[in-house]
Amino acid sequence: MIERFVQRYSDRFISKWFILGFDLFAVLTIFPLAVFIKNNFQFTASDLELLDIKKIFLVGSVYLLSFLYTSSYKGVIRHTGLRDAFVIFKATSLALIALIFLSYIVDAYNLIYPNISRNIIVLHYLLTLLVLLASRFMIKSIYLNLTKNNNSVRRIRVLIFGSGAMGELTRQTLSKEVTKTYDIVGFLDDNPSKSGKFQDGLPVFRPEAVLKKDFIQLKRIHQLIIAVQNISIERKKQLIELGMDLGLKVKVVPPAKTWIQGELTSKQIKNVRIEDLLEREPIKLDSTNVTKELKGKVILVTGAAGSIGSEILRQVIHYKPKKLVALDQAESALHDLSIEVGDKIRQFNVDIEFSVADITNESRIQSIFERFNPEIVFHAAAYKHVPLMEEHPYEAVKVNVFGTKILADLSIEFGVEKFVMVSTDKAVNPTNVMGATKRVAEMYVQSLSSFSGATHFITTRFGNVLGSNGSVIPLFKKQMESGGPLTITHPEITRYFMTIPEACNLVLEAGAMGSGGEIFIFDMGESVKIVDLAKKMIKLSGLTLGKDIEIVYTGLRPGEKLYEELLANEENNLPTHHPKIMKAKNVEVDHELLTYQLKVLEEKLNIHDDFALVAAVKQIVQEYKSNNSVFSKLDK
């Protein structure tokens, strides 16, 4: 019967006019009660004048006008919260002030209209406020109990980390959910002074005391929701790991600025992502230094439609350059980017030119330099996919080496102030064509620093970025969606990871601090074992390894390393003023010799012989030793 009632009436709401009528009825009936209480429940015939109909009409009229003015009757009763309670408090308080003011007017001018005792006015106000609030919360409680007792609605038992304002708001949000019934078992809080206390009838626990297998099983906990916003990254990771190990679904409350129309809903409380476990403390930028470097300048970004290039573009917009030139050969991706950053363009009043061009087309790139005369170049365009470039060394050499050379040479010709190249950790002791070609590009850019005049050449080097094109995480997500298995090349393979915004922050900072010839290396944190990453993603998705999904090892791909490096054997890292950026102390590059070697490389490029081409690259990059590749025989 209750189930049918809930299903039939759960989408219906009490009319606001009915609520207004009820509130007014309460005001009128409470007035005699206030008189009774004022007279110690003793009522004689001489007290009838206290219940003069004119007085009751005056009280009712004042409260009615106050209700209409504040719209206190428009709230949805089943969702009554602190804001609704405040509106009722505001409405009744306005009526109180008005009635007291009128009583003074009557006294001051000896008006014929019967006056009301101010003690009764105040007592009536307190009773009215109590009844209006109690009635709403009672109806809300009855409704929630009915929905909770509905067997067709799933019950989810939850622990909320954070007993402050955000924790309480999360509890209120979950209590309003209709499609799922949340039983809040209690709050968790790191503050020891809160341990053992109750908040809104719910206990507050120390996390270490309850995040244990026995407690979770005893209380049948399903979810852990992290509501605290100012929690440290390390503590957040610790809680997520604990929750995952206990088989809980871990969720996080998003920042308030992302809430829809400023309101938190249960749908916005998201499942923890693997990115949350790889997240690090936010980088503090020297915004003054970067602003000085970029504001009012003409800036060219190559590879602007890619993962790194597009984020560099988004961040540079904030520094209000004179003009931004976004260059990429990917037409559709560049068009999508132009639509995406449209609002920022208008917000910051930045002039952006989107140019479709191939960096290996020298005449086309020269025309862009002639037209825009860039002052700073961020060079992010490159081929970066290791196995594909192992199969297509011609493209890797053409784009990564000679595309970079064209841009670097034109930067000198047109007096570019700074040329910032985005490189990769795969350029260090390379074992594949992609990494080797990026190392050749690094060497050429470095070699120009000794005689490039006004142009300062700077290289930035870092590892994998989360969410980039070709990243392992999107691949694992797709494989899990299709039922698996998750494919990993080797059980011992590890990689460094960094978020795209973090990497691009450091590119801007390094570009600002560089004076020419440096290779800046970013602090990538600890390397991550890919198999551990896969296992955590499986846990976060609610699947069980070996039961719901499998992990399959496919063997190292051509050119692939087990471990990535950030420094070559002959390099030493030096600190900079930024704790996340180091500077590699490199061996000087002989520009004349490298120029000759590049001519030989170009000749090999033109004959389309992959082995001759890779052999020429190996002559330039002496430490390049192919791994698990058809080109390994060139090293013998």
pLDDT at 311 over 70: yes
Torsion of CA 277, 499, 348, 309, to 10 degrees: -160
Give the per-residue pLDDT at 335.
93
DSSP state of 268: G
Strands 249-252 and 270-271: antiparallel
Q: How many CB atoms lie within 10 A of CB 23?
A: 23
Q: Tens of pLDDT along 118-148? A: 888 899 999 999 999 888 888 877 776 665 5
- Nearest CA-CA partner of 435 in 601, 582, 561: 561
DSSP state of 409: H
Q: Where are the alpha helices (DSSP H) in 110-232?
A: 118-148, 165-175, 207-210, 213-219
pLDDT-derived band at 154, boundaries 50, 70, 90 = low
Give the span between the Cα atoms of 382 and 404, in whole angstroms: 9
| For the ranges 64-68, 173-177, 536-540, the one whose mean pLDDT is highest | 64-68
Cβ atoms of 309 and 359 within 8 Å: the answer is: no
pLDDT at 159 over 80: yes
Catalytic pick among 426, 536, 561, 580: 426
pLDDT-derived band at 151, boundaries 50, 70, 90 = very low
pLDDT at 350 over 80: yes
Give the span between the Cα atoms of 30 and 124, in whole angstroms: 7
Q: Tens of pLDDT along 492-507? A: 998 878 888 888 988 9
Gap between the terminal Cα atoms of the chain: 83
Provide the β-strand partners of residue 418.
376, 456
Give the per-residue pLDDT at 58.
86
| For the ranges 287-296, 405-414, 506-515, the one whose mean pLDDT is highest | 405-414
The mean-pLDDT minimum among 400-409, 421-430, 519-528 falls in: 519-528
**Residue whose token pair is 């070996």:** 546
Considering only residues 145 and 337, tell me which one the structure prediction assigns the higher pLDDT. Answer: 337
pLDDT at 613 over 70: yes
Give the span between the Cα atoms of 398 and 403, in whole angstroms: 6
Give the per-residue pLDDT at 1.
45
pLDDT-derived band at 5, boundaries 50, 70, 90 = very low
Across residues 610-632, what is the average pLDDT? 94
The answer for 93, left when phi > 0, alpha when psi is -120 to 50, beta otherwise, is alpha
Across residues 514-527, what is the average pLDDT? 83
The yes or no reply on domain 287-465+496-525+562-620 and CATH 3.40.50.720 is yes
pLDDT at 434 over 90: yes
pLDDT at 355 over 60: yes
pLDDT > 70 in the chain, percent = 87
Cβ atoms of 187 and 213 within 8 Å: the answer is: no
In 295-350, the DSSP E strands lie at 298-302, 323-328
Cβ atoms of 24 and 91 within 8 Å: the answer is: no
DSSP sequence for 52-115:
-HHHHHHHHHHHHHHHHHHTGGGS-GGG--HHHHHHHHHHHHHHHHHHHHHHHHHHHHT-SSPP
**How many residues are present in the chain?**
636
Handedness of CA 217, 218, 222, 227 (dihedral sign): negative
Torsion of CA 173, 178, 181, 185, to 10 degrees: 20
Q: Tens of pLDDT along 219-267? A: 899 999 998 888 888 898 899 989 888 888 898 888 776 675 566 777 7
**Catalytic annotation present for 426:** yes
Output helix, strand, coil percentages for the chain, rounded to the nearest 5. 50, 15, 30
Query: pTM (2 decimals)?
Result: 0.70
Q: Which residues of 497-530 are buried (b: 16+ CB within 10 A; e: fewer)?
A: bbbbbbbbbbbbbbbbbbebbbbbbbbbeebbeb
pLDDT > 90 in the chain, percent = 40
pLDDT at 104 over 90: no
pLDDT at 460 over 90: yes
**Burial of 449 per CB tally in 10 Å (0-12, 13-18, 19+):** buried
Give the containing element (helix H, strand E) for 270: strand 270-271
* Domain limits, CATH 3.40.50.720, in the chain: 153-272, 287-465+496-525+562-620
Cβ atoms of 409 and 428 within 8 Å: the answer is: no
Contacts of 113 (CB under 8 A, 6+ apart): 54, 58, 106
Q: Tens of pLDDT along 530-546? A: 998 889 888 888 788 88
Give the per-residue pLDDT at 167.
86
Give the span between the Cα atoms of 615 and 634, in whole angstroms: 7
Residue type, 211: L
pLDDT at 453 over 80: no
- Nearest CA-CA partner of 524 in 465, 585, 475: 465
Say which CATH topology domain 153-272 has.
Rossmann fold (3.40.50)
Give the per-residue pLDDT at 375.
96
Strands 551-553 and 486-488: parallel
Torsion of CA 212, 213, 218, 222, to 10 degrees: 90
Rg of the chain's alpha carbons, rounded to an integer?
A: 35
Give the per-residue pLDDT at 541.
81
pLDDT at 44 over 90: no
Q: Tens of pLDDT along 568-592? A: 555 567 777 777 788 886 678 888 9
Q: Tens of pLDDT along 271-305? A: 888 877 777 666 666 678 889 999 999 999 999 99
Give the per-residue pLDDT at 110.
63
Q: Tens of pLDDT along 53-62? A: 778 888 889 9
